[in-house]
Amino acid sequence: MSPVLAGVLQLLALIAALALAYRPLGDYMARVYSSDKHLRVEKWIYRGIGANPNTEMRWPAYLRGVLAFSAAGVLFLYVLQRVQGILPGSLGFASIDPDQAFNTAASFVSNTNWQSYYGEQAMGHVVQTAGLAVQNFVSAAVGIAVAVALVRGFARSRTGELGNFWADLVRGVVRILLPISVIAAIVLVACGVIQNFSGIHEVGQFTGGSQQWNGGAVASQEAIKEVGTNGGGYFNANSAHPFENPNPFSNLFEIFLLLLIPFALTRTFGRMVGSLKQGYAILATMATIWLGFICLMWWTEFAHHGPAFEIAGGAMEGKEQRFGIGASSIFSISTTLTSTGAVDSFHSSNTGLGGGLNLLGMQLGEIAPGGVGSGLYGMLVMAIIAVFIAGLMVGRTPEYLGKKIGTREIKLAACYILITPALVLVFTAAAMALPTPGNSMTNSGAHGFSEILYAYTSASNNNGSAFAGLNADTQWFNSTLGLAMLLGRFLPMVFVLALAGSLAEQKPVPATAGTLRTEKPLFTGLLVGAILIITGLTYFPALALGPLAEGLAT
C-alpha cells in the first residue's frame, strides 16, 4: 500500500469515528450543562470547597471564580515542584528551579503544557500525578466552562446571569472528562501504553549498551492529555515515545481523542441555543479549515523533491517509521489546530512550508476545531466579527443568533482577536533584538527565526508544542514564555465573559428579511474567509521572514 493511500484511509477512518461520536457526545454535554440536578459526589465537592452551585453569577463573579481558581492552581503546582526533592516517589529527582517551576505551573494551569524540562528526567511520580495530571483535568474544565458561559449569553435574554462557575467546573471534570479518560486509558493500556509506578531501570538497546528509563502512570495521563487538549508528555519525546504511543492504532486513537470534544461542542452549542443548524455551520467552518490544512501538509511532505525524499516516499526526517508521513501530518495539523501541543514527530524537521502550516494553524487562534472550550468560544468571537463585516457591506446593524452586535460587543471581540498577536509579535521581536535569547537558537537565518516565532506563538495561543532546536530552558524563556501563557489564556477569557454578559442582557431581536442567515453555507464561506484574511494580514510579515522564506528557498 502506498504511503499516500494509507494516509487517506486513516483520515477516512478518523472522520467516521468522529462522526459516530458527534451526536451522542454533543447532546450529552448539552444535558450536563443544562441540568439543575447535582450528583452526590458533586455535592461532596461543593461542600468541600464551600460553593453554592445553585447561585447564578453575572460575568464579573464568573470571571473572579475563573481567575481565583487558576491562581490557586499556579501557586499549588509551583510549590509542589519546589519541594519535590523531599516528596515520596520523587525517584531521586531534585526540586525544580524557580524559573522552570514558574514556567511549568503557568503552562499546565493555562492548558498549554509547554515543557522546558525532560519529562522522565525531571519529574517524579507525585508531581506527575498529583500536580500535572490534575491540572490536565481542571484546566480543560475551565475552558469548557467559559465556552458554556458564552453560549448561555447567546441563549439567554434580559439577564446578565451566566450560570455558576463552580458547578460548570465540577460537572466538566466529573461527568465529561473523567469518564472519557478512564475509557481512553483502558484502550491505551490495551494498545501497549505503560501504566505503573516502577522506578528507574536499565533498558537494552539494539545497537548495544543501555539506557535508563523510569515507568509511570503514563496511559492515564496520556488519556487526559489528549482528551483535554493539554499535550504535555510524560516523556520528553512526547507522543513519539513508544511507551506513550506504541503503534499506528494508538496514534490514530490519540488523534481521535484530541479532536473528540472540540468538534462535539459545536452540537452542544446548537442544542443549547435551540438551533442545531447553527452548530452545523460552526462545525462546517472548523472541518473545512482542518481538512484543508491536512491536504496542504500532505502536499508539502509527500511531494518534496530530491533523491532521498523520493526513496523514502516523502520528507521522512523527524518522523517515526511506524506512523509514516500520512499519520504524522494528520497528527501535527490536528495538534496545532487544537490547543493540544502533543507531537508524534519533530515539527522543526518538516519542510519549510510544512512548518509554516503548523505555525499558521496556531496563529488562526486554534479554532478549527480548537482546544476544549477555547476553540468554540474563539470561533464564536470570529463569527461575531464575520457578521459585523457582513453588516458593513449592506449598511445594516449586524445580528447573530437574535442578538444585535453593537459597539460594545465589537470592541470586546476586537480586543479578543488582538491580544494574542500582540503577545506573539512583541515577545518575538524582543527575543530577536536581545543577545541572550539568540544564544539559545540552534539554527540561524529563517529557520532560527521560525524557532523563536513558533515558541511564542505556541505559548501565547496555549498550544505547547515546540519547533525543536531551541533551548528554552533559560531564565529568559522560562519567564517570558510563562508570562505569555498566562496572559494568552486569561486576558481573552476576560473579554469572552464580558461579551457573554453583554449578550445575555439584551432582549432577542426577531429575524427579518434583511437578517443574515448564519446557518447557511454562505455564512460558512464568509467565516472561513474572515478567519484566513484577518490572520494573514496580522502574521504575514512574520511568516514571510521565517517559514515562507525557508520554503521558497528550498
Grid cell locating 536: 494573514
Q: What is the pTM of this model?
A: 0.94
With left for phi above 0 and alpha for psi between -120 and 50, is residue 370 left, alpha or beta? Answer: left
Question: Which residues are CB-neighbours of 49 under 8 A, at least 6 positions away?
Answer: 166
Give the per-residue pLDDT at 347: 79
- The whole-angstrom separation of Cα 402 and Cα 156 is 10
| Eight-state DSSP code of residue 212 | E
Question: What is the C-alpha to C-alpha distance for residues 142 and 377, in angstroms, rounded to an integer?
Answer: 12
DSSP class of 348:
G
Pairwise CA distance, residues 158 & 139, whole Å: 30
Q: How far apart are CA 482 and CA 102, in angstroms?
A: 7
Closest by Cα among 332, 249, 271 to 297: 332
pLDDT of residue 446: 83
Cβ neighbours for 359, distance < 8 A, ≥ 6 positions apart: 336, 450, 453, 454, 457, 539, 543, 546, 547
Q: Is the dihedral of CA 321, 325, 326, 329 positive or negative?
A: positive
Residue 468 and residue 346: Cα distance in Å, rounded?
7
Nearest to 57 by CA among 153, 144, 164, 146: 164
**Are 228 and 136 a contacting pair, CB within 8 Å?**
yes
User: How many CA atoms lie within 13 Å of 13's alpha carbon, on the beta-carbon side?
Assistant: 15
CA distance 99 to 106: 11
CB 521 within 8 A of CB 288: no
**Contacts of 450 by beta carbon, 8 Å cutoff, 6+ apart:** 355, 356, 359, 467, 546, 547, 550
CA 19 to chain centre: 20
**CB atoms < 10 A from the CB of 205, how many?**
8
Give the span between the Cα atoms of 279 and 275, in whole angstroms. Answer: 7
Distance CA 205, CA 214 (A): 15
CA distance 108 to 140: 10
Q: What is the pLDDT along the chain (554 residues), one digit of tens a residue?
A: 678 888 899 999 999 999 999 999 999 999 999 999 999 999 999 999 999 999 999 999 999 999 999 999 999 999 999 998 888 877 788 888 999 999 999 999 999 988 887 766 778 888 888 888 899 999 999 999 999 999 999 999 999 899 999 999 999 999 999 999 999 999 999 999 988 877 776 777 666 777 767 777 889 989 999 999 998 878 878 888 888 999 999 999 999 999 999 999 999 999 999 999 999 999 999 999 999 999 999 988 887 655 555 555 566 677 778 888 889 999 999 999 998 989 988 877 787 788 889 989 999 988 999 999 999 999 999 999 999 999 888 777 789 999 999 999 999 999 999 999 999 999 999 988 888 766 677 777 788 888 889 999 999 999 988 887 778 888 999 999 999 999 999 999 999 999 999 999 999 888 777 788 899 999 999 999 999 998 888 998 888 888 888 777 76
Using CA atoms, how far apart are residues 379 and 399, in angstroms rounded to an integer?
A: 16
Number of other CB atoms surrounding residue 206 within 10 Å: 5
Residue 324 has a CB neighbour count (10 Å cut-off) of 21
3-state percent breakdown (helix, strand, coil) of the chain, nearest 5: 70, 5, 30
The distance in angstroms from the start CA to the end CA of the chain is: 29
Whole-number Å distance between alpha carbons of 101 and 478: 9
Neighbours of 55 (CB within 10 A): 13
